[in-house]
């Protein structure tokens, strides 16, 4: 089992989780998604609505390539909008 922490790009702190699909033979991640409960909609309308984000597409990374993760850290460090 792999547990990955979630960071919320939507409303900053919506409860969320990550899920991964992996290739059994290589151990590489084949799909990763972040899923968030839209807390505002639940509190005010009692509607359970979820938003799903593909972090590889959103952040332009490949989670199987450590170089792309390091490059993301460099991009975040130099871009206040991306960091925020």
Considering just the CA atoms, what is the radius of gyration of the chain in Å? 15
* Token reading at 34: 């972040």
Q: pLDDT below 50 — which residues of the chain?
A: 1
- pLDDT tens-digit series, residues 12-31: 667 778 888 999 999 999 99
What is the distance between the alpha carbons of residues 47 and 73, in angstroms, rounded to a whole number?
36
The rounded distance, in Å, linking the Cα atoms of 4 and 19 is 8
pTM (global) more than 0.85 = no
How do the domains of the chain map onto residue ranges?
A: 16-83
Sign of CA dihedral 53, 6, 57, 73: positive
């Amino acid at each position: 089992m792999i547990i990955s922490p979630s960071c919320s790009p939507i409303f900053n702190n919506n409860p969320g989780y990550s899920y991964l699909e992996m290739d059994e033979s290589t151990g590489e991640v084949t799909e990763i998604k972040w899923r968030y409960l839209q807390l505002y909609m639940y509190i005010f309308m009692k509607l359970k609505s979820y938003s799903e984000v593909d972090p590889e597409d959103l952040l332009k990374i490949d989670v199987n390539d450590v170089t792309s993760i390091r490059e993301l850290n460099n991009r975040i460090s130099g871009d206040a909008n991306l960091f925020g």
